[in-house]
Structure 1
Amino acid sequence: MTPFSKDRVIAGLKLEDKLYWGRFVGGMIMGFLTAYLKLYEPSILTGILIVVLAYILSSIALRAILPEEKRRKLGRNLYLSGAGTYAATWLITMIMIYNLAS
């Protein structure tokens, strides 16, 4: 295994870092879906509501999947880590896809 192989890099990340990068990727996916499916019509509030709902559902799913020990270790960070990145990545991706598609 090379020093920079995918498995080694992912295994070397802390749980909070994995959560952060997962939210980053989730924001990109939701931004793409919002623009591609035009979830901003008739109002952007529809898109925002769906994105917030997806974030909440991902937090609930993570809470159900993670063992008790890791949940206790993360504490509030399970819900807050990467939230700003998720929102910013969603917005930037949505704007880029919208402009590229127009």
Structure 2
Amino acid sequence: MADYAADAASSTIGTVLTPRTGTASADTVPAGAYVVWRNTGAGAHTVTLTNSFATDTGNAPNRTISLAAGQVKGGRINPNWADVNGRVAVAIDATASEVTYYIVGGV
């Protein structure tokens, strides 16, 4: 398991972003970060973000992101989805290493 930190990208001169390679489960990203997801594989992938937000009627559903072959998507990790440590678990289906992602903070 890896608890990945966000790369601070608030610089006006550009910031090097660290590519993270997907795993089937157990990696986490910080709530509130912006994440760019890239599918480098020939088939579709689904990224599942564990939603730890609880209501009086139970937990909210997990968030899924569908990526077609070669597709790139970006989005903010909702802070409400975080666990008690401020982290959101990431799970990637099939050949998870085909999904590369960049975690951006400070924007």
TM range (shorter): under 0.3
State the structure with more CA Rg.
1
Q: Which has the higher helix share?
A: 1
Q: Which has the higher strand share?
A: 2
TM, length-normalised to structure 2? 0.27
